Every structure is written in C-alpha cells, then in structure tokens.
Structure 1
C-alpha cells in the first residue's frame, strides 16, 4: 500500500502526522482511583485523522500507511465543525455488524475486497454495504496549536466540545472517569460487565494528568482486554487437504523474542478463515515463498511437517487462550485477519504477565479474583470469592478467618505502577496458605511504606501501638553491643488475619531470622542455612545463577539439599534445612564455603561486603546466618517500582536463565505459579540434615 507521509506546509496545509501514543498491558489489573479515566478498547484500525483548514482530510495508519483512499467516505466530515481550523485527531476506524457491535472480521472482509479491486476498473467501489466509522479518542492539534503537552483531561474536554455533524461516520469514543463512576455508585468492575455485555473488546485506563507522548508505550495508558489477542508474523503455511485442496490449510506463526529480538516460532493457526480469505492469503503467500524457515532456531519437526516457508513480511492477528511458559507456544488460536497497519518489527511474543488475565473470570481483573465477598448476613470475607471494590478512601470491615478486621484506604497507590493497598492486601490474603509455613514461629521484622514506595520507609521490629490483642508476640533480648537495652517485642504471624493486619499497615516487606522460638518465647538453635547472592555493579542475577550452581554442588557433597528463591530485587538466596546446637556454626560454615569459591574464582566472586570489592563480582553474603540478622521471607513483596516478590524457583529455571527478566516475578505471576506448582519450598523442612 502506498505511503503518503504528508507533513503539511505551514499555514493552511494538512497538519503533520503524529506517531501514536501506545497503551501497555495492565497485567490483568484494571487500575482504579480518582486519577484514572476509562474508554472502550476498540477493535479496528488505529488511525490519525489530519484535517486542513480548508477541510482536506488525510487518514494515516499507526505505521504511516495512507488510508485516505480506502476510507474515502470519512474525508471532509469535520470540515463544518472545525469552522476553518485545522486539527489532528487520534482514533480508530471500525465497522459495526447488524447487532450494533464492532466487528473486526467485517472490517477485514471489506479490506480484502478493497485490495482485490483497487487495481481494477472498480477501484472506486464505494463499499456502501460495509460503512466505516472513525471513533476519535484524542485531540492532538487544534487551530495550529499543539495539545500534546496538555493533560488528558484538557485534551478530552476540547475534543468533546467539537460538534459531530455526522456521528454515523465520525464520533467521539465514550469515556468515564473513576470519580463519575463512584458518584453513580458504580465501580470499574461494573463498567467491565457493561463492556462485556455490549460486545466491546475491553477497557483502556488513562491517567488523567498525562500528556500525549508520541510513539511511546508507557504506564499512562493501560489496556485491559476481555479476550486475549496478539499480533503474529506469518512465516509459513501448510497446504490444505480435502475441500481445502489448492489453498492454505493453516499458517505457521512467528514473533520476536522480547529479550533478544530473535524471530521465534510461536505456533500455528488453522481456524477462523473464510474461504475467500484463504484464497486471498494463498495469492500473497505464493509471492513470498522461500526455501528455508526464517526462525533463529529450527522449530520442532512435528510442527512443521509439509510446511511451505515464506518471507516474514505479513502481520496478522489471532485470538488465543494460553501462551505456554516453557515452549513459548500460542494455544487454542483462531485467525482474526491481516494487520497491514502494523510492521513485522513491532510484533513481540506475548509475555508471562499478559497471560495472567486468562485465569481471571471474564470481565474481572485477576487482582479482584479473591477480593472480599459479602456474607449473607455480615461483613465481607477475605480470601474467598470476588466482591465489588470499596468506595475510594472508605473503611471496610472484613472477616479474615476467625478474626474481624477494619481495613482502610484500600485505593491508596503504594507502587509507582499503580498497585494499590487493596491489591497488596489481596495478594497477601491469597498467598497466605504458602507464606504462613515460612513465617511460623519466626519473629517478623516489617519494612513499612505508609506513603508508598518512593516515600518514607522504616524498619519496625517492635509491635506497633494499636496492634490487635489477639496477635501473638515474643520478647527477645537485643543482640550485640545494644544487648543491654530493652528487649524487643516482635510479632508472630501465624494466621491469615495477622498477615492481613500487617498488609493493612503497608508492611510490604516481611523479614525473618533463620531460627524460631518455642511456645515460651525461648530462641531455638538455627534450623536454616542461607546464602544471599547479591550481584555487584556489572553483574546480574544471571551471574548469581552460575554461583548458585557451584554452591549447590558443594552443599550436596556435604549432604545438604539446597533450594532457591529470588530476592525479589536483584539477587537470590539459597536455603538448606539444617540441625545444629551451635548458633555460631552456620555463619562459620557459610563463610568457609564462600571463601573457597573466592579462592577458586577471585574475579567472579567476593565474600567481602566492601563496595570496592564487588564491582563485576557476585557477593556471597554468608553473614545472613548471624542470629541477629534477617532475610526477606519467601513470598514477601518488595518495595520496588513494581510489586515484585521473593519467589521460590527451580534448578531448571536457574540453569536456563540467560536474562534477568526471566527471574523477575510480580504478585500476579507468583499467584499463578502457586496455582500451577504449589510451594516450591514445601520440601525444605523434609530435607533437614546435620550441618557439616
């Protein structure tokens, strides 16, 4: 298709093209709070409508393909409304079906007919039987003035002030603010249900204070789809058989690995095609045929029997139910159509967090899948079925196990990416069954973030004033030089309600020692050995994995069984369950083993905390075994930019790690992992052995 990159002369010419701002995935968590607005997620072709002062209109796709001739009936619609002003609008070209729903399939059918006829005598066919509509959702320029730096609210206000002379051809997408919904006693979840019932694809949450950033994908616009779709690159096909003889039977699909950029095989699709579309696709595939596959790694032979390979130039879209973690394959796919408005270089394989929403009930974000439910007579119950979101800023009484708690400020954002206090409580309530065994009998040190990550944070060992009377505590004498001071009264988190109470205090991080206390509060000898692997400048968790494998070999030789988890930050920890009567013995053993690795590879490992010694090396922190020290608990959140979690991992994952992102897990990721695999540290206490 011809590109017409109209940049437009100054004055009365057509305004220049603006590369579209892009929405990122929300990880299955529809953002909530007064700072957010919501628009329908549209299922069409993204387009920039540029209108000159004289009404001359140019339509340009997101990758700067000229759409003007193809959708000629959209030109000039806004001439009267703009009253001599130029304008640039961002929006989507869509087609509606007879049921009044946006239908991407009909748009694809119309596009196929246009491509077939554009070189023939019928190239000006009006397509009156399949009318299109431009749904505008942003105003970027008006009357020669750029609005790009204006906040969303102001751009939206000016857009809605424009008259729409023919709303059947050009109209403004309906929008909702969180504040408006609350005023109507509605929630974003209610809006999602309405979106689902009306046949829309989902919602896009937009930060009301955000400027328009051309060509960028950030956290200011976040898409929440009700169905999972992804772009794919057509890399080959299998010839049809039987009634499909002579046309393609199924397509072999590729996408670029988000980490390496390599073109990788992601599966196939054989359903969702009309007969006409199969024929049109076959004609285009014939032109692109090549002898070898285009992938960086050869796909499995079983998947590529009878394959014909093509140049990876066509982009399509599929619906899918699952993207498998290990093999990296799209499962249960159906074809939606070609996307000539997108370039192959833009197509990335789905990432782990985008698959999370598939586990949520349609119309419900995964973070809400275990929000408090309303009892028939009484307060909501934590840790069971979903319920509507509480009104912003309100207090809510909940039943957590056998305790009744009051939670507050659930809408308060605690993480820069929008993760709220309500989501923190939701995570801890759902992860409690596997978290609690790792806290049992261990005094907890909290790191609290009352104003969220980025605000003031503080360690809290003593149980704060106002703690519930039922919370078990233990008084322990101070260690070291301060040992003569007042004993510390620690909290013991031994039930769901205690974990929820801590989360309600914005205690994002939970840290515990390598020893427990008995029923009388007497400290027992250490029962866990820990190695904390901390990557220095110039290294990452990938380098930690190499050190972890060496430590594993040494520990196994000594009769111990090491298990691993990420720190939730940059590094990782190895644990062994041990027996010893000497509280100083674990530190001595760990130090000796760390120093052995330093002697073997002094350029790769250090056992010295000094920063000058750590550049380009992994620091093996053996001192975490000191009875006075604590380590972040398994399944604890961390106070970082995103709600990352200290996550148990397998040795297969450690061996396979090539990029740091492979071992970064958020709260949603961890809940999914536990659903799939249970607690990967569950066997820790069953492998207990004497400390050498």
Structure 2
C-alpha cells in the first residue's frame, strides 16, 4: 500500500493516526509456519540474503503461525536516527562482496533493524480488509523477541495528542528534532490495499529552508546540455569560519534559471574548489568550480550526521540581498564524537571555562563534570530537545548558570518535573517520585498522597519527592531531560517524620482563554494588584513561560485551605465586576475571550511552574520574573516572551526580581 502526498497540509481529526516516515528500504517480511522468512522489496526483489540477520527473528514468538508484516529496513547513525546514506553504503559493500563470492561478509558496524508498521496476515487469517486500528492492535500484540533487530514503529493518534494537550504542530516539532523524514497520516478505519496509492495514507515530508553559497556546478546533460545541471554548495563553519562542503542540488530550477545561472557561473571560474577540506571525490565528478560569492536558498529535509550534508534538496533561487559571510552551516557540522561542552560554570567545576576566543573542550558521547562538590556523568549533550535545535547540553548550560537565582525558589519544596526524553513534541510525563537510578546524595522527602487513596480504594504509598537544593541536583534533573520544574506553595520539614508546613506563598495563575493573550492578563493583573495591595499584601509577578502569567504574595497562615479560599473570593469578585473579561470557572466554554484566574493552584495537591524554569514549548522559553513597569507597558504578547538566553541576560543586569518576595510576608486576610 502506497501513500499519497498531503500537499503540505497534515490531516487532523479523531479519525487519523500518525507514524514516523522512515528513511530506509520498504520491506515485506513473510514468515512461514516453519519459521522460514523471506524479505522482499516494494518492487518484489528478494532482500533475504542481503539482510540475513533479520530472517528468523520472529519465528520463535509466532510459535508455528505464519505472518506477513509490512515495514522499513533502516540503519541508525550515532545520534539514533535512521540514515539512508549509511544504508546505501551497506548495500554497496554487500554488492561488492557478493560479486567477489564473499556472501558471508559481516556488517557488524552497520547493523540493520526492521521497523514494522502493519500486519497483513497472522496464521491463516488475512487482515487486508481489517481497519488500520485493528491491524495496529494485532501488530502490537506480536511479541518482539529481539527489539534490536525487529520492532514496531511508534504511532500517535490525534485523540491521544489532543488528550495530552498537544497539537499536530507539536508532533511535527518532535519529528523534526528527532531527525525523521516526516510523518505518514493513516486513516484509522481504512483497510490495506496492496499496490494502491490512496488518500487513506498521506505522507507529510518535512522540509527546511537554508541559505547556501554556490561554490561550483556541473554541466547539464541531455536536454540540459549547454546549461547548469546542478550546483555544489557550501557554508561557513560557525566555529572556525572555514568554508565547508554541504552537498549539491539538482532540482527546482526552471529552464530559464538554468540558463541565467550558466552565464553568471562561467564568469566566476576558478581552477580548484574553495573548501577548507577536500569534498568526496564521488561528489565532485565533472565539477566546475567558481569563486564563492553567490548566495542562494534551498529547501532540504535532513542534515546527515556524518559530514553535515544536506539531503533531499531543491533550489529556491538566488539571494542577492545576502552576503556570503552571513551564510553559516546548519547543525550538525562536527562529527558526533566531539559535541560541544555544556559549559558548566567555573563556580561549579572549579576550573576556568574556555575564554571567548578558545574552542569548546572536546568530549565524547558521555562525559563527567564537576558540579559543586559532586561529579556527574552526562550523556547525549548534542541531542536537540527543542524545535529550534536547542540541545540538552544547552539546557544544562542554562540551568547551571541560572542556579544561583533559581535554587532559593526550590529550597525546601518537593519537586515535580515534566520530562521530555525525546524532546519537545515527543512523549512527556510528570514525575513526582524519585526515579530509579537517582544518585544516593539527592535529598528526598516521603509525603502522603494528597488524594489519600489509590485507584483501588486503598490508601496509597507515600510519594518520595526529590528536593533540589544544590547545583548538582539541577544538572542531574536537566540530564534526564526534565525541562520543567514545578513546586507547591508550601515547604516541608524533612523530619523525621516529614511534615508539610503551612503555605508560605499564595499564587494567582492568569490563563488567557481563546481570543485573549498575556496583554489581557496584564490588565487583570493590574486590577488584582490594587485589591491585594489594599489588603496589605505585596505582589510580585512572573510570566508562565507559555501564554499567561502568575502573581505571588508571601503570606502567613496556619490554615492550608485558607489561601485557596481567599484567592477564590477575589477571582469571583473580579469575574462579577467584569464578566466579559474575567472568569473564575475552569470550564473551557467560559474562557473564550476571557482571562481565567486560576485560584486552585493554592491547593496542597497542586503545583505551579517554578520561577526561572524552562517550558516544554517550541522555543526554550522561561517562566520569567517581570516588573510592574513591564506589565503596565505591555501592549503586545511578544514584549513578555523570554528565552533562556534572554533570561540569563536579564539576571546579569537586574538580579532576581523576586528577591524581596520572602521578605514581604504578611498575614493572609480573613473574611
């Protein structure tokens, strides 16, 4: 069954599921009752001898049943991404060995994996007429005895995304960060139609746009004789400034543009290539080199890890408004075995960080760093965790540098994190309990569940929360891809026995509904500020790092329920005064065109994003303390959007704008 292009618009709705579009060889795996396995390509070619290590893997799990699976054969690069170029290299080596009669030549350095995405037959039963959902369910039930060689492709339904408050844009951001070619949308009620290209499967390839320097060209052949057949591309290494080879482009030109380029390129001839290092000989056959002074633009789908080449390129046109010196190569440029240091600060490491003109220290896939008095092992530092390419190393860099102002807001508060192991757009999960493998030096506190009972009606076990009170704790959490840190409005006495203290902070979470923004939140914040000040409370503000903002007051109270009750009264009061602008009700239907004042985050069961925490959004935005002057002046949402880099600059200039919060504690008003 074949997929049709979706024309650049990914299908949405509860009837759709999404799978990774894989960069490999399409393959049908046929397993006979006796375990004999045959692998065939889309065109019917027999792959069995070439990928002999995949044959027979499923036979033990099928226990004498026949099966037919549809999927893709892939080879992974060092970043854990399928890379077609490596699969092609493996095929070339196989064909060479086969021609020399060395069929058993091992390929241990390029292991393959069969990723199944459909089940067409199980036992005597044909599943071709079954709906996608049923086939998927049956496929997931097939045991995978060796997941290193055979596994099932991940899938996401629209409903699952929506339930997680994620959108298809979030999914595409995750797919981009993970380095996949794109996604395939599959209709959940559609049967499997062999050999047919239908609208039940719609492919959505991902493309990116980049500026490039034209460094050479190949003469056209056939009907393009006398014009340009393709261009050879380059860009500057952002670290060294050297000109690097990026690959070529041979599509996207009009006939007229080929002719125009030919005239300009002939006038720029030079005898040799302009790159710092020799490009691959196979890539530059028939090449004619030019002075690197012309800038163009291409679209592409992927940057290879090995060599930083652009894949699936298409020409968009010349950019006469750009200078070659402005054109920088995309990630990745260096080989993966030397990722950039996350730059844990000198105060943490006890060593001098690199100077501004020094290159980053090279390090391997795993490194050991000194964070205060602790040594930690970090891994996958160049793995992008955000759609913008912001990596785990950069997340650790941010948390390391923001620690002096962030740690006081975490001190004594049980931590809940949201982890993004596959980056923003991938799977995410709240984590309250300290995970397995946490360092033994990490302080924890065991607190009773606020709900009191488990889903079976019995009292649940206490939750063992982490307490982060030093730099090493922050670095440890960041290394687990814990992008978001949430805290309650109370602190704990670790005991023994551990005890929740009464709340010392009260929070108003201002959440803009549809057709509103943080600008509307600012106007509501101004009104709340007046009321709270009249009640003798000092109000501090921060952005949520997403769409809204929070207001904080430091309070004295002996009643854990009192802050929620007081905050609810104020929220309801403002909602009565201006029902067209404010709501105190969580219902989505009540929030259109209004700002929801969420008073419930003062409940002991609730947490709020911590000041200076990153958020799991498309960009590495931060929950940022702001001044009342900034609130009064806000007229556009962009005025109160701050990324990690912005916040480090703000703190360097202004310090912690929440410094005075705990020094302004006042009794919580009653009545």
Q: What is the TM-score when the length of structure 2 is the normalising length?
A: 0.54
* Residues 595-651 of structure 1 deviation map (CA, whole Å, 9 limit, x = unaligned): 010010001000000111111110000000001110000011111111111111111
- Which residue among 540, 554, 579 is the counterpart of 1:602? 579
Trace 1:267-416 onto structure 2 (pairs within 5 A): 371-372=343-344, 384-385=353-354, 388=360, 390-391=362-363, 394-416=365-387
- Which residue among 583, 586, 610 is the counterpart of 2:563? 586
For 1:686, what is the secondary structure of its paired residue?
A: helix
Q: How many Å separate the matches in 1 of 2:512 and 2:616?
A: 18
Which residue number in structure 2 is paired with residue 474 of structure 1? 445
For 1:655, what is the secondary structure of its paired residue?
A: helix
Which residue number in structure 1 is paired with residue 310 of structure 2? 208
Asked if residue 563 in structure 1 is aligned to residue 552 in structure 2, the reply is: no
Which residue number in structure 2 is paired with residue 489 of structure 1? 464
Q: How many Å separate the matches in 2 of 1:661 and 1:545?
A: 13
Deviation at 1:84, TM superposition (A): 2.1
For 2:288, what is the secondary structure of its paired residue?
A: coil
Q: Residues 619 and 161 from structure 1, CA distance in 2 versus in 1: closer, same or farther, beyond 3 angstroms?
A: farther
* Residues 342-394 of structure 1 deviation map (CA, whole Å, 9 limit, x = unaligned): xxxxxxxxxxxxxxxxxxxxxxxxx979714899xxx96699556725556x1
Q: How many Å separate the matches in 1 of 2:324 and 2:406?
A: 31
Asked if residue 512 in structure 1 is aligned to residue 487 in structure 2, the reply is: yes
Which residue number in structure 1 is paired with residue 423 of structure 2? 452
Q: How many Å separate the matches in 2 of 1:575 and 1:453?
A: 28
Q: Residues 497 and 164 from structure 1, CA distance in 2 versus in 1: closer, same or farther, beyond 3 angstroms?
A: same
Q: How many Å separate the matches in 2 of 1:453 and 1:503?
A: 14
Which residue number in structure 2 is paired with residue 84 of structure 1? 226
Trace 1:189-204 onto structure 2 (pairs within 5 A): none
* Residues 454-474 of structure 1 deviation map (CA, whole Å, 9 limit, x = unaligned): 111111101011111111000
Whether contact under 8 Å (1:568, 1:644) holds in the other structure is: yes
Deviation at 1:416, TM superposition (A): 1.5
Deviation at 1:172, TM superposition (A): 12
Q: Residues 212 and 101 from structure 1, CA distance in 2 versus in 1: closer, same or farther, beyond 3 angstroms?
A: closer
Deviation at 1:209, TM superposition (A): 3.8
Q: Residues 88 and 166 from structure 1, CA distance in 2 versus in 1: closer, same or farther, beyond 3 angstroms?
A: closer
Deviation at 1:688, TM superposition (A): 1.1
Which residue number in structure 2 is paired with residue 503 of structure 1? 478
Which residue number in structure 2 is paired with residue 666 of structure 1? 643
Q: How many Å separate the matches in 1 of 2:350 and 2:465?
A: 27
Q: How many Å separate the matches in 2 of 1:168 and 1:519?
A: 65
For 1:455, what is the secondary structure of its paired residue?
A: coil
Q: How many Å separate the matches in 2 of 1:524 and 1:224?
A: 59
The number of residue pairs the alignment matches comes to 413
* Residues 405-456 of structure 1 deviation map (CA, whole Å, 9 limit, x = unaligned): 1111111111121111111111111111100000000000011111111111
Which residue number in structure 2 is paired with residue 622 of structure 1? 599
Whether contact under 8 Å (2:512, 2:594) holds in the other structure is: yes
Unaligned runs of 5+ in 2: 1-175, 181-209, 236-240, 259-278, 298-302, 329-338
Q: How many Å separate the matches in 2 of 1:688 and 1:168?
A: 64
Which residue number in structure 2 is paired with residue 196 of structure 1? none
Deviation at 1:163, TM superposition (A): 2.6
* Residues 261-298 of structure 1 deviation map (CA, whole Å, 9 limit, x = unaligned): xxxxxxxxxxxxxxxxxxxxxxxxxxxxxxxxxxxxxx
Deviation at 1:223, TM superposition (A): 11
Whether contact under 8 Å (2:177, 2:384) holds in the other structure is: no
Asked if residue 554 in structure 1 is aligned to residue 531 in structure 2, the reply is: yes
Q: How many Å separate the matches in 2 of 1:226 and 1:559?
A: 56
Q: How many Å separate the matches in 1 of 2:558 and 2:318?
A: 59
Whether contact under 8 Å (2:483, 2:615) holds in the other structure is: yes
Q: How many Å separate the matches in 2 of 1:88 and 1:226?
A: 20
Q: Residues 476 and 167 from structure 1, CA distance in 2 versus in 1: closer, same or farther, beyond 3 angstroms?
A: closer
For 1:214, what is the secondary structure of its paired residue?
A: strand
RMSD: 4.7
- Which residue among 280, 287, 294 is the counterpart of 1:163? 287
Asked if residue 648 in structure 1 is aligned to residue 625 in structure 2, the reply is: yes
Unaligned runs of 5+ in 1: 1-30, 55-81, 94-99, 103-134, 148-154, 182-205, 228-366
Q: Residues 138 and 391 from structure 1, CA distance in 2 versus in 1: closer, same or farther, beyond 3 angstroms?
A: farther
For 1:555, what is the secondary structure of its paired residue?
A: helix
Whether contact under 8 Å (1:86, 1:142) holds in the other structure is: no
Q: Residues 648 and 374 from structure 1, CA distance in 2 versus in 1: closer, same or farther, beyond 3 angstroms?
A: closer
- Which residue among 383, 398, 410 is the counterpart of 1:439? 410
